[in-house]
Amino acid sequence: MSEENIKLLKKVGLKITEPRLTILALMQEHKMEHFSAEDVYKLLLEKGEEIGLATVYRVLNQFHEAKILTRHNFEGNKSVFELAPTVHHDHIICVDCGKVFEFNDTVIEERQKQISKEHGIQLENHSLYLYGKCTDIEKCEK
């Protein structure tokens, strides 16, 4: 049990429970990945954890509300989660295999601020998702 995770859950006002600590540790173990609730559930089963799918959904939603995780809807209505990033980044998604690449580009970021300013909007937050297809068909994880 990580003392840091216990402190984090207390800080955001969540009760310390075994499912929350287990799911948080799993997300930290795979920090550069984007997981659906079903993905998290399968990983928990592989590790021999007995946490139900409904609990996984509930915990992921609680973590999102507490800003521990960020929710994305890359594939229509299917939500995926990642640890809340410390540095802003955007995403490129392959529409065939669903692979997600993260990137940050200062030119794009500046241009978005300029466009917002031109329209009289004080930019507070944004998400940029680019969709395409893997150019290397052999490496595409269809």
Domain containing 12: what range? 3-83
Please indicate whether residue 97 or residue 51 has the higher confidence score (pLDDT).
51
Please write the tens of the pLDDT for every residue from 92-124: 999 888 888 899 999 999 999 999 999 999 988
- The answer on 79 and 11 residing in a single domain is yes
* Residue 142 within a domain: no
Find, among 49, 130, 138, the residue nearest to 91 by Cα. 130
Is the CB of residue 41 less than 8 Å from the CB of residue 5?
no
Under 8 Å CB-to-CB from 51, ≥6 apart: which residues?
19, 22, 23, 41, 44
Neighbour-count burial of 73, counting CB atoms closer than 10 A to its CB (0-12 exposed, 13-18 middle, 19+ buried) = exposed
64 is annotated as contributing to ligand binding: no
Whether 141 is in a domain gets the answer no
Span 132-136, mean pLDDT? 90
My answer on whether 67 and 117 are in the same domain is no
> What pLDDT does 117 receive?
94
Q: Report the predicted TM-score, pTM, of the whole model to 2 decimal places.
A: 0.82
Indicate the burial class of 20 (C-beta count within 10 angstroms; 0-12, 13-18, 19 or more).
buried
Is pLDDT at 44 greater than 70 in this prediction? yes
Residue 126 marked in a binding site: yes
Q: 100: helix, coil or strand? A: strand
State how far the alpha carbon of 31 is from the alpha carbons of 38, 114, 126, in Å: 17, 32, 21
- Same domain? 116 vs 49: no
pLDDT at 108: 94
Q: Are residues 78 and 97 in the same domain?
A: no
pLDDT at 142 over 70: no
The chain-wide mean pLDDT, for the chain, equals 90
Residues 67 and 100 in one domain: no
- Does 46 show up as a binding residue in the annotation? no
Rounded Cα distance between 78 and 119, Å, is: 32
| Residue predicted with more confidence, 49 or 142 | 49
Residues above pLDDT 70, as percent of the chain: 96
138 part of a folded domain: no
Would the annotation count 109 as a binding residue? yes
* Total domains present in the chain: 2
H helix and E strand count, the chain? 5, 5
Question: Does residue 24 sit in the same domain as residue 39?
Answer: yes
Q: How much is the pLDDT for 1?
A: 59
The answer on whether 134 is annotated among ligand-binding residues is: yes
Residue 2's pLDDT band (cuts 50, 70, 90): confident
Is the domain of 10 the same as that of 56?
A: yes
Indicate if 52 and 14 belong to the same structural domain: yes
pLDDT, tens digit (0-9, with 9 covering 90-100), for 3-36: 888 899 999 999 999 999 999 999 999 876 899 9
How confident is the model at residue 121, as a pLDDT? 96
